A = this chain, B = another copy of it.
Amino acid sequence: MLEVRHLTTLLAIEEAGSLMEAAERLHVTQSALSHQLKDLEGRLGAALLVRRTRPVRFTTAGLRVLALAREVLPRVQQTERELKRLAAGQTGRLHIAIECHSCFQWLMPALDAFREHWPEVELDLSAAFSFAPLPALVRGDLDMVITSDPVENEAVKYLPLFRYELVLAVSRQSPLAASKWIEPEDITDQTLITYPVERERLDVFTAFLNPANAEPAAIRTAELTPMTAQLVAAGRGVAALPNWALTEYTEHDLLKTVRLGEKGVWRTLYAAVRVEDDHTPYMQEFWETAKELCFKTLSGVRAVKGS
């Protein structure tokens, strides 16, 4: 019945004082407005305007519609502006999930920096330890997943952040501490401390132990990186962690790190996004600033070739 178009017309007529002038402002013919009004009045069963006065006078019904127009049109227009910004990628939503336990360390500063540049983007962060983040990303519940485990999916693009080395943290007193590197078999008499997730999601198994069919003497879990570090420092076990997550402990000489294998185990950390979001300005910028911040902040990380 009533449409936004009608509200726009009525408001223009009120401001202009005549159909003639209003038509000009709206870039249509006077005839168009006349027809439009006639049609609307016919369907309403009531006149909206008295045309024979100058300026035109609104009937009670007309005033009521005018009041609606004044109330509703600004909101509609504001929404349209917001949608334009959304479409242009100048604002939007960025729900991030991390699969990487240590990532809070650099992600929080990255989020803070981002928030300053894109205050209108709705930020959210969740840990993806208890659910599969990739389907959620594809479905749209998430907008970005920080992961080192790129599962091929044509709806998802993996933006590389940096390469890092997975190293073994050992206590200063550990016999392994002196080695330049260790072999998988060196862990068979050790207690391995891991995050409490399935083996398949732990790089130390998939990239180091499993290929050699090696198995640690025991496995215990710890939720948080500082807790793991403390346990290792106390000689209660060893743990495979990103080199950059251990910097503050090695710097204070609280523990030692040893390479896994002669060449080391290198991983790449990715920001996974839906392909359609790849070129969204704020997504791009988040990726770039995060990358930059990681290089500046984290020691021992490397650029990925071609990124």
A residues neighboring B (CB under 8 Å): 1-5, 44-46, 50, 53, 57, 59-61, 64-65, 67-68, 71-72, 75-76, 79-80, 82-84, 86-88, 92-93, 122, 139-141
Contacts and interface: CB of A to CB of B under 8 A. Distances in A.
10 contacts: A2-B4, A2-B76, A3-B4, A45-B84, A46-B86, A46-B87, A53-B139, A57-B141, A60-B93, A64-B86
Given A65-B79, A68-B76, A60 B2 contact: no
B139 A60 contact: no
A58 B139 CA distance: 11
Contact of A65 (B1, B50, B83, B139): B83
Contacts of A4: 2-4
A50 B122 contact: no
A140 B48 CA distance: 12
Nearest to A4: B3
B87 A57 contact: no
A66 to B, nearest CB: 10
A2 B86 contact: no
A75 B86 contact: no
A280 to B, nearest CB: 11
A142 B71 CA distance: 27
A67 B93 CA distance: 16
A140 B57 contact: yes
B3 A50 contact: no
A86 B57 contact: no
Nearest to A6: B4
A93 B63 CA distance: 11
Given A3-B5, A53-B139, A64-B83, 11 more contacts: A3-B4, A44-B84, A44-B87, A46-B83, A53-B140, A60-B92, A64-B79, A67-B79, A68-B76, A72-B75, A72-B76
Nearest to A78: B68
Nearest to A86: B61
Contacts of A46: 83, 86-87
B83 A44 contact: yes
A54 to B, nearest CB: 11
**Closest 6 A-B residue pairs measured CB to CB?**
A45-B87, A46-B87, A68-B79, A60-B93, A61-B86, A3-B4
Contact of A139 (B57, B92, B122): B57
Nearest to A41: B87
B140 A59 contact: yes
